[in-house]
Structure 1
């Protein structure tokens, strides 16, 4: 199979090769200069010793020669550098273990006209990749690649989707034209090693400098000279890397085309759209068990729980199901991203999903699909899941013997935690990234308001449009201030040059004002609507009380946050070298701030709902802190245990402030939901009563 590369690919390949050619020329010039400098240092050192052999001249001559040697080694050190990938988190599988999976890989390799991977590994996550150990010499001889497949990906894909994703990975190396990309990648790694990977080099110089005070002078000289060389290489790295990243994006499009020809366009599109949900679900499970470490609880099968979380979140978002898996549509994946700003991210190695899917739809290649779960490729997938789950938790240190949390308990606890930490979906995500506007007033003129209209999809999109406009404005201000370096960018389908950014900001300000007015009007209608419902339910005082308390806390939030900023500033000296007398004065000045902190924390500790998510030991530490008058510095030494308690108390303060805000917001939304539910039930009952036809019994005529 041969797929013609695009004009953009050829253009960016030439740009990348030209950049590398310029780098090579610069490098050769620097290499020759370095040889001359190193030779001069060595010859100068020898002549110095030969002129007058004595201890001082021998040390100075050796130091000068050493300087030349270290400078020369710096410019050639990448020749001896080999990049070894960490395999500790990988589990190798062989053909005899999983013949059906290897048969699929055989088919892909045959169709892509590439080589079978050297080794196949399973990883924990929701991803697939091809990797290899590389060095300078790998530019001149072929290297067999290794394939990594994430179990979290297999767990959330069909067979055809997995085939598409793996075909994409092999697509990077299947075409002869793609070898340009591999070559660029290797050269880019070499430059990176020269520029950044110098820890062992510095350690060698420091060790040499420690042998003698004479050598330390020359070590400083060597570091100064190599620092200047490194500065030039850093500039060259930026120059080459920008073009490498641009080529990488084209390589992604090309690999997608290979995958589409092998497995079809639609399976790759659907897997791309679901991947974010699948990965988010996996990370949710990981986070759940991170909070269980203190309770010595682990999972027996983290991937069974990933599937549960993915389906649960899909259900909450009302996603359709296809082939037994959530079917995420492109319109749904971008529901909350209303930005009109488009510019090519010159540092991005991957194009956006939207761009990739647009290309796939243009190709529209249809293939026969195997839509059974990808897990069916394994002989005993559940056993494999459990094996990798054990490996995930193997590096976690538990204080006591760990126990596996049964699946039913996990499901119940996860659901409860989700509902506890989120707002009711009755509001259609309107308040997920927005707080009530407490500046609005009741609108007596508003009539015929309906809940469905107030929280419709159009009104929700209006909120996220406002958020996008405000974010776009910040980005364009950064472009105007040259914090982001661009030549051109697109906004709302029009191309702009950088100097026009300032003019565009005023236009965005106009749009922000227009949308903000619409959102404010809707917020006013929402307040009016619920005020009316509260009055009808004889709960107007309760609603206004909850609304007023939240409004007050919202207005005071910045002032409540200020003590945290003050005490953080007052303890900043702990991370700096400070004279003993000043330390004593600083802790004395800290006392007033500490009293405020203790008072705040005490009020939170007295509220069960504020501490229900904290670990038992953290609660004990906080109680001990507020009850004791701790000493932090004694006999010219910091008392680390007490300082740790202080830092725990300081760092917990923002958590308490934000949690209280969340709880007050949820309390307000809960009464709003209850009022709406009451109205809904009342209306249903009224309709039922009106539609009910009374049974009229006839009477027998009197005889």
Structure 2
């Protein structure tokens, strides 16, 4: 199978290789300089000793020679460095273990015209990758790659989708034209190690320096010279890395085309669209059990739970089901990511899913679809799930013997937690990342419908605003040179860094326009519920809930200021401070500490706020509030009391956030109930007269 690379790929390959050639030339110049320096230092050291052999000249001569040797070693140390990938989280499988999976890999290898992986590993997560151990010498001889397949990916894919994902990974190494990409990647890693990986070098310098006070002078000189060399190399690394990142994007597109030719465009598209949901589901399970460590609880099978959570979340989002798996449409996957900013030479080594899917659809390569679950490739998938789950949890430390939650308990507790910690889906995610606008007033618009107020278009306005404001912050950072780069793309158009400042006013205009649209919609929402609640004789309930939320919202920033003041007032604990000043600092802290105790106490009495707090932490907080603690005595800190203070300070933001969430949820529950009752009693069919752009 031969696939012609694009002109962009050829162009960026040439650019990347040219950058490496420039780097090599500069490196050779520095190499020659360090040889000359080493030879000069050694000759000078020997000459100094020969002129007048005595202890001091021997030490100075040896130190001078050592300077040259250490500087030279710095420039060649990468020749002896080998990058070994961490395999502790991987589980190797062999052909005899899973013949059907290896049969699929055989098919991929044959069609992609590449080599079979050296080893195949299972990982915990929702991913697949090819990796290898590398060194400087690996540029000159071929290295067999290892394949890693995440069990979380297998668990949430069809056979055809898994084949597509694995074909993509092998696609990076299958074509002759792709070898330049592999070469550029390897050289890029070597340069990175040369620039950044100098811990062992500095340790050697330090040991040499500690041998004698004479040597310490020359050690400082060697570090001064190598720091200057490292500065040059850092600049060159940025120069090479920018072009490597640009090439990486094209390599992704090319690997996608290989995968499409082997498994079909549709299989890779559907896998890409579901992968974020599958990953979030896996992470939800991991987060769930992170909170269970203090209770010594673990999972017998996180992948069974991942599958449940994936389908549960899909149901909440009203996604369709296909082949027993959630079917995610492109329009649904991009709802919460409205950024138009693409900084190609900084973060975009992988193109967006949207860009990849557009290209896959243009290819439109159709293959027979094997839609059965990928887990059927395994002899006993459940046993494999349990084995990896046990290995994952064995890495955690428990205070007591751990117990395992059964599946029914997990599903019940997860659903309860989800419902407790999220807002009702009736609002379509409108309030997930925004609050009601308390500056709005009732307007005269009578032609309002709940469906329109919380429609997909209105929700997209909210997330577009969030993306624009984030894009603006990044572009402002580019304009201020806080982020150093040459060019970036915005809304499909390329800009150089000098044009960033001119783009900000345009963003401000767009942001202002969208804010006005959202403000108008919030005004319509307030009007709608004010009138609806009046019709149902629940106006007082609506207004009281609304004002309660508004009041806490107004106080929130002031309450948070207390936390900032406490952090500043206790910062001296981590600094070298004179004893008398420490005593004065703790005396000055007392008024703030009194405020802290008064702030925390009501939260401790609210079971909804503290339901996730460990029992011991609650006991510690109550003890802290009820006692006047001394933190410094006999010229030393009292660690136990100090820890109680730090715990109380750090818990304050959590309580503030949790209380805010609860008050917000209470308000949204009130308006949800109003809408539920009203929709039953009299359906509203008149659409809004407001004209909002999507």
TM-score, normalization: structure 2? 0.96
Question: 1:120/1:651 Cα in 2 relative to 1: closer, same or farther (>3 Å)?
Answer: same
Contact 2:44 2:65 (8 Å CA) reproduced: yes
Which one has a bigger Cα radius of gyration? Answer: 1
Please show how residues 43-58 of structure 1 align to structure 2 within 5 Å: 43-58=43-58
Bigger shift: residues 395-404 or 463-472: 463-472
Please show how residues 113-512 of structure 1 align to structure 2 within 5 Å: 113-443=113-443, 445-485=444-484, 489-492=488-491, 496=495, 498-512=497-511
Bigger shift: residues 496-505 or 130-139: 496-505
Question: 1:486/1:187 Cα in 2 relative to 1: closer, same or farther (>3 Å)?
Answer: closer
Question: 1:384/1:681 Cα in 2 relative to 1: closer, same or farther (>3 Å)?
Answer: same
Matched, 1:552 2:524: no
Shift of 1:489: 4.7
CA distance in 2, matches of 1:204, 1:482: 36
Shift of 1:470: 2.8
Question: 1:343/1:244 Cα in 2 relative to 1: closer, same or farther (>3 Å)?
Answer: closer
> Does the residue aligned with 2:682 lie in a helix, a strand or coil?
helix
Contact 1:84 1:134 (8 Å CA) reproduced: yes
CA distance in 2, matches of 1:61, 1:496: 56
What is the root-mean-square deviation in Å for CA atoms of aligned residues?
Answer: 1.6
- Residue by residue, what CA displacement relative to the aligned partner does 1:33-76 show, whole Å, maximum 9, x if unpaired? 00010111111111111111111111111111111111111111
Bigger shift: residues 74-83 or 177-186: 177-186
Match of 1:644 in 2: 643
CA distance in 1, matches of 2:65, 2:650: 53
What stretches of structure 2 of length at least 5 have no aligned partner? 685-694
Bigger shift: residues 572-581 or 336-345: 336-345
Question: 1:76/1:340 Cα in 2 relative to 1: closer, same or farther (>3 Å)?
Answer: closer
CA distance in 1, matches of 2:247, 2:495: 24
CA distance in 2, matches of 1:663, 1:131: 46
- Residue by residue, what CA displacement relative to the aligned partner does 1:89-140 show, whole Å, maximum 9, x if unpaired? 1111000000000000000011111111111100100011111111111111
Question: 1:273/1:255 Cα in 2 relative to 1: closer, same or farther (>3 Å)?
Answer: same
Question: 1:205/1:665 Cα in 2 relative to 1: closer, same or farther (>3 Å)?
Answer: same
- Residue by residue, what CA displacement relative to the aligned partner does 1:278-318 show, whole Å, maximum 9, x if unpaired? 00000000000010011111001000000000000000001
> Does the residue aligned with 2:211 lie in a helix, a strand or coil?
coil
Shift of 1:467: 2.6
Contact 1:285 1:306 (8 Å CA) reproduced: yes
> Does the residue aligned with 2:17 lie in a helix, a strand or coil?
helix
Question: 1:96/1:496 Cα in 2 relative to 1: closer, same or farther (>3 Å)?
Answer: closer
Contact 1:246 1:346 (8 Å CA) reproduced: no
CA distance in 1, matches of 2:40, 2:472: 56
Shift of 1:500: 4.7
Shift of 1:151: 0.3
CA distance in 1, matches of 2:209, 2:484: 41
Match of 2:594 in 1: 595
Shift of 1:636: 1.7
Contact 1:169 1:255 (8 Å CA) reproduced: yes
Contact 1:242 1:347 (8 Å CA) reproduced: no
Shift of 1:675: 0.9
CA distance in 2, matches of 1:489, 1:75: 33
Contact 2:172 2:255 (8 Å CA) reproduced: yes
Match of 1:700 in 2: none
Shift of 1:547: 1.0
CA distance in 2, matches of 1:16, 1:516: 43
Match of 2:665 in 1: 666
CA distance in 1, matches of 2:507, 2:118: 54
Shift of 1:491: 4.3
Contact 1:44 1:65 (8 Å CA) reproduced: yes
What stretches of structure 1 of length at least 5 have no aligned partner? 686-703
Please show how residues 527-606 of structure 1 align to structure 2 within 5 Å: 527-606=526-605
Contact 2:344 2:489 (8 Å CA) reproduced: no
Shift of 1:497: 5.1
Shift of 1:492: 4.5
CA distance in 2, matches of 1:237, 1:471: 28
CA distance in 2, matches of 1:65, 1:485: 39
Match of 1:697 in 2: none
CA distance in 2, matches of 1:108, 1:493: 35
Shift of 1:487: 5.2
CA distance in 1, matches of 2:653, 2:677: 36
> Does the residue aligned with 1:210 lie in a helix, a strand or coil?
helix
Contact 1:274 1:326 (8 Å CA) reproduced: yes
> Does the residue aligned with 1:326 lie in a helix, a strand or coil?
strand
CA distance in 2, matches of 1:361, 1:595: 64
Match of 1:91 in 2: 91
Contact 1:164 1:264 (8 Å CA) reproduced: yes
Question: 1:142/1:504 Cα in 2 relative to 1: closer, same or farther (>3 Å)?
Answer: closer
Contact 2:13 2:181 (8 Å CA) reproduced: yes
CA distance in 2, matches of 1:493, 1:19: 26
CA distance in 1, matches of 2:291, 2:155: 24
CA distance in 1, matches of 2:162, 2:276: 15
CA distance in 2, matches of 1:113, 1:503: 49
Match of 1:698 in 2: none
CA distance in 2, matches of 1:502, 1:146: 46
Shift of 1:245: 1.1
Contact 2:245 2:345 (8 Å CA) reproduced: no
CA distance in 2, matches of 1:238, 1:488: 14
- Residue by residue, what CA displacement relative to the aligned partner does 1:456-484 show, whole Å, maximum 9, x if unpaired? 22222222233333333333333433434
CA distance in 1, matches of 2:46, 2:549: 81
CA distance in 2, matches of 1:305, 1:381: 14
Please show how residues 609-624 of structure 1 align to structure 2 within 5 Å: 609-624=608-623
Number of residues of Structure 1 aligned to a counterpart in Structure 2:
684
CA distance in 1, matches of 2:399, 2:500: 57
Bigger shift: residues 92-101 or 473-482: 473-482
Shift of 1:271: 0.5
